Amino acid sequence: MRTAELLTPPLPLLVSAETFDGFNWHPSTTLTWRCPTDAPALNAFADQLPIGLAFVLRAPWEAIPSEFAWLHTGRAQASSLGLTDERALAPYAIDDATDLLFAERRPPAETFWLAADNANALFWSLHDWSHFHNHGEFTDRPSTELQCDAAALVWLWINRAAIGLPDTHWEEFRIEALASHLALRATRPDTRCPPPQVLADSAMLRALAMGLIGKSM
């Protein structure tokens, strides 16, 4: 088992201001990540419900929909991480968590830690970590998702050495995240989301990541 504090410095706003009513309401700093092995499995990007992850609650929180963490990590990962009856955010409740964290002004890093054993789970966990720090009403989903996809890719790049994520695998994720975003925006022809240049340009993402590292030091 290993534990790492993933660096998650806040990104600048990449979409229109009205996308969020609480952009960066609590600036992100780090995410505690625990993995049953030295490095996550380098699986493929998948935009379905990811498996092998759980946002584990640090303390009971009755208001939030929760389930046993082992239901979502799997029993093998749970055993390696020492998880027994710990509760985790229910996978269907990402929006609930985004709303309740904002409403109650609960710092996400003081509320959850992350159990994840594969690269795809890490991408989507970081995507959700951005949601938790930037509250919005989902009136224009492509805009919200673009901001969070960019955050996930930037944070993966910043932490790739700590995670054990090869540059080539990060690039595969970038390409797939762009394709997923383009498919989403094709269903929303009236979106106010700007063109996804930040996802299309790997150099732009890497430059953004390096700029954020400099600011956080």
Distance CA(190)–CA(111), nearest Å, equals: 36
Query: What are the start-end ranges of the E strands in the chain?
Result: 2-7, 30-35, 53-57, 66-68, 87-89, 112-116
Residues 68-102: pLDDT tens digits?
Answer: 999 999 999 999 999 999 999 999 999 999 999 99
On average, the pLDDT of the chain sits at 96
Residue 155 sits at the vertex; the CA angle it makes with 150 and 160, to the nearest 5 degrees, is 130
Q: Length of the chain in residues, anyone?
A: 217
The predicted structure's pLDDT at residue 59: 97
For residue 157, is pLDDT > 90? yes
Buried b / exposed e over 137-160, threshold 16 CB at 10 Å, is eeebbbbbbbbbbbbbbbbbbbbe
- Bigger pLDDT: 153 vs 213: 153
The predicted structure's pLDDT at residue 49: 73
The predicted structure's pLDDT at residue 47: 82
Domain ranges of the chain: 2-216
The DSSP element (H or E) to which 81 belongs, if any, is helix 75-81
Confidence category of residue 215, pLDDT binned at 50, 70, 90: low
Q: Based on the number of CB atoms within 10 Å of its own CB, is 24 exposed (0-12), middle (13-18) or buried (19 or more)?
A: middle
| Residues whose CB falls within 8 Å of the CB of residue 165, separated by 6 or more in sequence, listed in order | 40, 42, 119, 122, 156, 159
- C-beta neighbour count of 37 within 10 angstroms: 13
For the whole prediction, is pTM greater than 0.85?
Answer: yes
Using a pLDDT cut of 90, give the percent of the chain over it. Answer: 94
Question: What amino acid is encoded at 17 in this protein?
Answer: A
Question: What amino acid is encoded at 173 in this protein?
Answer: F
Facing residues of 89 across strands?
Answer: 66
Question: Distance of CA 124 to CAs 79, 205, 217, Å?
Answer: 23, 17, 26
The predicted structure's pLDDT at residue 216: 52
> Residue 54 region, left (φ>0) first, then alpha (ψ -120 to 50), else beta?
beta
The predicted structure's pLDDT at residue 217: 41
- C-beta neighbour count of 79 within 10 angstroms: 13
- C-beta neighbour count of 98 within 10 angstroms: 22
According to DSSP, residue 68 is labeled: E
Residues 26-69: pLDDT tens digits?
Answer: 999 999 999 999 999 999 999 877 789 999 999 999 999 999 99
Residues 158-213: pLDDT tens digits?
Answer: 999 999 999 999 999 999 999 999 999 999 999 999 999 999 999 999 999 999 98
